[in-house]
Amino acid sequence: MKQLLFLLSISIPLCYKAAPKLPIVEYEGREMHLYSYEELKEVKDFNEVEAIDLTAENLISINGIAAYSNLRYLKLSGNKDLKGFSGLSRLKKLEVIFLIKCDLTEIPEEIAKCTSLKKLYFNGNSLKDISRVTSLVNLKELDFINCDLKEIPKGFSNLKNLKKLYLFDNKSLTDISNLNGLNNLEHLQLSFCGLKKLPEELKTLKNLKKIYLLGNYQLFDVSELGELPLLEEINLDECNIKELPRSLTNAKYLKRIYLYDNANLKNVQVLKKIPTLVEVDVTDTSVDKTQVNQLRASIRELTVYH
């Protein structure tokens, strides 16, 4: 097992060979060298390091990480025995952390203190408690894909700067009412969860542009979608939709709606009143060919899959 403590006491050799070309990561319009575990041993000046990739390095601790005071981007995925995060919150410029498949059951306390974070990825951890994330008020992108979530904690509305939220493949997640008040959220991924009905609180997400609900097999009530005026894309493939809300005409910017494999869906007449549509999928529904032809005739340059 490895620790990062040795990085604080690296001796500086008297001469250096030319360093190999390092991998590059693009972040917010600029390129940064992405240092590996081995390459960090050759670093002369810790302040030059802005991005580190420690993926699957069998780490148990990163307690020496605070030495890299200009660190902005950190990949820690695949370190299943990683428990020591001491010093991480001292990195005031740190904005991105990947903790994918690290066998975490809760959000480490030290990470909850990293208030400079803008992007945080937990894909593939069985998280029993995510309440600590509510302290990270500068987050813009958050990933809880396949994390065995059962609920969204109270206080989630603290994340006012959040723009992208990925909750894909949390099959026990049936209630998302605590997503209310995320005023800047634009992209919401809820595919393959356990939703049956969209809560009234969803209408508070007034800036939402894309919502993905694919594979919520029991989802039948999506009436709240009509309360989201900026929606551009809706994916309701493989749900249990029987009808579309009339209020969907309020979505003045809607371009794409996917309704594949909703066997009980018969009527999509409301879509004729949304002239911004460019793509509709009603494959494997009960929508008849007459309606499809009417749709095509009503909206210029509309592509309908049937």
- Domain with 3 in it: 1-148
Spatial separation of the C-alpha atoms in residues 63 and 114, rounded to whole Å: 15
99 within a domain of the structure (yes/no) = yes
Six-digit token string for 231: 């929606």
User: Do 196 and 291 share a structural domain?
Assistant: yes
User: Do 266 and 121 share a structural domain?
Assistant: no
121 within a domain of the structure (yes/no) = yes
User: Do 264 and 203 share a structural domain?
Assistant: yes
User: Do 282 and 161 share a structural domain?
Assistant: yes
Give residue-wise pLDDT tens across range 20-56: 455 888 888 889 999 999 999 899 999 999 999 999 9
User: Do 247 and 123 share a structural domain?
Assistant: no
User: Do 303 and 160 share a structural domain?
Assistant: yes
Question: In Å, what is the CA distance from 229 to each residue of 166, 226, 247?
Answer: 21, 7, 10
164 within a domain of the structure (yes/no) = yes
CA dihedral 227, 231, 236, 242 (to 10 degrees): 40
User: Do 205 and 81 share a structural domain?
Assistant: no
Give residue-wise pLDDT tens across range 189-234: 999 999 999 999 999 999 999 999 999 999 999 999 999 999 999 9
Domain count, the chain: 2
> Worst-scoring range by mean pLDDT, 23-27, 119-123, 211-215, 256-260?
23-27
Q: What is the CATH number of the domain that holds 11?
A: 3.80.10.10
User: Do 81 and 7 share a structural domain?
Assistant: yes
For residue 246, give every residue at least 6 positions away whose Cβ sits within 8 Å of its Cβ, in sequence order, or none.
Answer: 226, 270
User: Do 111 and 28 share a structural domain?
Assistant: yes
Question: In Å, what is the CA distance from 139 to each residue of 150, 203, 248?
Answer: 21, 21, 30
| 91, 69 contact by CB (below 8 A) | yes
Spatial separation of the C-alpha atoms in residues 78 and 76, rounded to whole Å: 7
